[in-house]
Amino acid sequence: MSEKIIILDFGSQYTQLIARRVRELNVYCEIHPYNNLPAFDDDVKGVIFSGSPYSVRQEDAPQIDYADIQNRFPLLAVCYGAQYLAQQQGGEVLPSEIREYGRANLQFVDQESVLLKGVPVQSQVWMSHGDTIKEIPSNFKIIASTDKVSVAAYEVEGTRTYGIQFHPEVTHSTDGQVLLKNFVVDICGCSQDWTPDTFVETTVAELKAQLGDDHVIMALSGGVDSTVAAVLLHQAIGKNLHCIFVDHGLLRKNEYEQVLDSYKNMGLNIRGINAKELFFGRLTGVSEPEQKRKIIGASFIDVFDQASKDIQHELPEGVEAKWLGQGTIYPDVIESISVKGPSATIKSHHNVGGLPDFMKLKVVEPLKALFKDEVRRVGKTLEVDANILGRHPFPGPGLAIRVLGDITEEKVRILQEADDIYIRNLKEAGWYDKVWQAGTIFLPVQSVGVMGDERTYEHVVALRAVGSLDGMTADWIHLPYDLLAKISNEIINHVKGINRVVYDISSKPPATIEWE
C-alpha cells in the first residue's frame, strides 16, 4: 500500500464503520487498538481516534501518549477521542446535563474551516455521548456547534488536529462523508487511488514475492471469500496452488457438482473429495447442534489432512507445500484484536477451526485487509463467476444444522428438494438478490394432512429469508404472499414426505438466523 490512514480504536461500536467510510473514498486504512500501536511508517498520511464506551472521567479510561502522533500527522479525533484531547490539553469535560443521543443539527459552522468545507449550516449530525466538552483549551477554536452542544467540533490552532463530538461515519450524519473526505483528501493529502484494480495488482505482486516457487494448499467452500482468495493466489502462483473442495453431503442440491465445475472453468488446480460416507457415519444418531458442529469440524480437518498428505506425496522429490491458503477477511482480524467494549462482540461458533497444529504450514491470507463488500468488488474485477459472488452466506456445517435433531440421508434429500424449489423461485421472482440469506429448515415434527382421499402424517419445513448487513442482526423479509403460496404449493406437490410449509417471521435478536 502506498498510503494509508491509521484508525486507533478506543472500543467504539462504530470503529469498523469509520474504516468502511474511509475505504469508500478509495483510501486504504487500518484499525489498530490504542494500546498496541503499529509502526507509523512514511506511508501513513493521517490518524483518526475513534469513540469509546468509556468516559474520559473514568479512572480506567483508555490512555494514549499521542504527542508524537499529533506532531507528525493530521489527526481527527471523534467523540471520546475529541473529549480526550480537550481534557488532556487543559480543557474540561463534564457529564452532559441532558444526555445527547440521536439526531442534532449544526447551528453554527465555521465556513473557513477546511474540515467543514461544503458542510452547510443545519446539517444533521448523529450524537451519542454522555459527556460534553464544557471548556476548551486556549489554543482550541470551536468550528461547529448545535443548540445544545457548543463544542460540536474544534480545531487546534497551529496544528492539523481536529475534534468532532458527533459521528461522521453513521449515515444519519448527512454530510459525514463530506467531512471525512475533507480530512483524508484535503488535510491528509491522500490520492484516492485504492481501488479493486490496484488491490489486485499489488496483492498479486506481493504474493509472488512472498511465495516464489512455493506450493500452497487451500480448502475451498464454494463461498465468496475462499474463492476470491484462491483466484488471487492462482494469479500469483498458478498450478502451485492446490485446492481441495470437500463434499460432506450437506450442501444444497447439485451444489457440489456446480461449484466444482465453476472452479474448473476458472482454471483452478482443484480436487473434489467425496466424503459423504464419513460425515454421515459420524453424524448418525447425533442431534445436539454443537455436537454436530464439532463432529463436522473435526471430520473436515481429518479429510483435509489426508488430502494434503496426498498432495504432498504427489509433489516431485524435494518439493514440499509449505503454505496453507485461507480466505480470512478483515472483520475476522479486527475481531481478534479489538479493544474490549461494545465493538468486541464475539461471534460464538463461527469460522472456528483454523490451522490444526499437526499441520505445520505457514498461513497466507490474501484478503485479510478487506471487508466483505470489498471482497465482492475484487471478485468482480477478477471476473469470478457471478453465481459464486452473489451467493447467500451458507453455514460451514451446511444442512446438518438445518435438519433439526438427528440427521439421515433421507431427511437431507427431502430438505434439498424443498430448498431447491424455494431458492429457484426466489431467483425467478427477482427476490434472491434482495435477500441477505435464505434457506429451508426441516422440522423434527410430523403433522396430519390430507391428499386426495388419504390422510397423511408427514413432515413440516420452514422457510427463512432475512435481510442483514453482517449477520449480527437480521430481520425477516416480507416476501409477497402470492410468491409464498406458489412455493408452498410446489413443495407440497413435488416433495414426497412434506405436507406442510411454514414461514419464519422472527428477527435476530432475539431469534437467530439458523434454527440450530
Catalytic residues: 79, 167, 169
Q: Are strands 161-164 and 270-274 parallel, antiparallel or unpaired?
A: unpaired
User: How many Cβ atoms are within 10 Å of 41's Cβ, its own excluded?
Assistant: 9
Q: Are strands 75-78 and 124-135 parallel, antiparallel or unpaired?
A: unpaired
214 annotated as ligand-binding: no
Q: Which three cell numbers stand for residue 73?
A: 500527522
The reply to whether 91 sits near ligand XMP by the rule CB under 6 A is: no
The reply to whether 331 sits near ligand XMP by the rule CB under 6 A is: no
CB of 404 to ligand XMP, least distance (A): 13
User: How many Cβ atoms are within 10 Å of 99's Cβ, its own excluded?
Assistant: 13
Handedness of CA 198, 200, 204, 207 (dihedral sign): positive
CA–CA separation, 181 vs 195, rounded Å? 16
The reply to whether 508 sits near ligand XMP by the rule CB under 6 A is: yes
Q: Site size for ligand XMP, by CB under 6 A?
A: 14
User: Which residues are within 8 A (CB) of 493 and not within 5 positions of it... i.e. 6 or more apart?
Assistant: none
The reply to whether 397 sits near ligand XMP by the rule CB under 6 A is: yes
226 annotated as ligand-binding: yes
Q: Are strands 437-451 and 321-325 parallel, antiparallel or unpaired?
A: unpaired
Which residue's CB is nearer to ligand XMP, number 393 or number 467?
A: 393
H or E stretch including 330? helix 330-337
Beta strands in 193-262 (DSSP E): 215-220, 241-247
Site string for ligand XMP, 282-301 (x = CB under 6 A): -----------x--------
Nearest to 190 by CA among 3, 41, 30: 3
Site string for ligand XMP, 20-59 (x = CB under 6 A): ----------------------------------------
Which residue's CB is nearer to ligand XMP, number 171 or number 336?
A: 336
The reply to whether 349 sits near ligand XMP by the rule CB under 6 A is: yes
Q: Which stretch binds ligand XMP (CB under 6 A): 207-215, 259-267, 325-333, 348-356?
A: 348-356
The reply to whether 514 sits near ligand XMP by the rule CB under 6 A is: yes
Sheet-wide strand order for 270-274: 270-274, 241-247, 215-220, 321-325, 362-364
336 annotated as ligand-binding: no
262 annotated as ligand-binding: no
User: Which residues are within 8 A (CB) of 227 and not within 5 positions of it... i.e. 6 or more apart?
Assistant: 220, 263, 327, 379, 384, 388
Selected binder of ligand XMP within 15, 196, 396, 492 (CB under 6 A): 396
223 annotated as ligand-binding: yes
Site string for ligand XMP, 438-477 (x = CB under 6 A): ---------------------------------x------
- Which amino acid belongs to residue 179? L
Which residue's CB is nearer to ligand XMP, number 176 or number 395?
A: 395
Cβ-in-10-Å burial (0-12, 13-18, 19+) of 314 comes to exposed
Nearest to 502 by CA among 453, 449, 456: 449
Selected binder of ligand XMP within 13, 124, 351, 408 (CB under 6 A): 351
504 annotated as ligand-binding: no
CB of 468 to ligand XMP, least distance (A): 8
Q: Which three cell numbers stand for residue 387?
A: 453465481
Question: Phi/psi class of residue 6: alpha, beta or left (left: φ > 0; alpha: ψ in -120 to 50)?
Answer: beta
CB of 136 to ligand XMP, least distance (A): 44
Selected binder of ligand XMP within 47, 283, 498, 513 (CB under 6 A): 513
> Could you say which residues in the range 242-261 bind ligand XMP, by CB under 6 A?
none
227 annotated as ligand-binding: yes
Which residue's CB is nearer to ligand XMP, number 350 or number 380?
A: 350
CB of 88 to ligand XMP, least distance (A): 40
The label of the residue with cell 468502511 reads: 20
The reply to whether 192 sits near ligand XMP by the rule CB under 6 A is: no
Q: Which residues are annotated as a binding site for ATP?
A: 221-227
Give the interface with ligand XMP as residue ranges (CB under 6 A).
293, 349-351, 393, 395-397, 437, 471, 508, 512-514
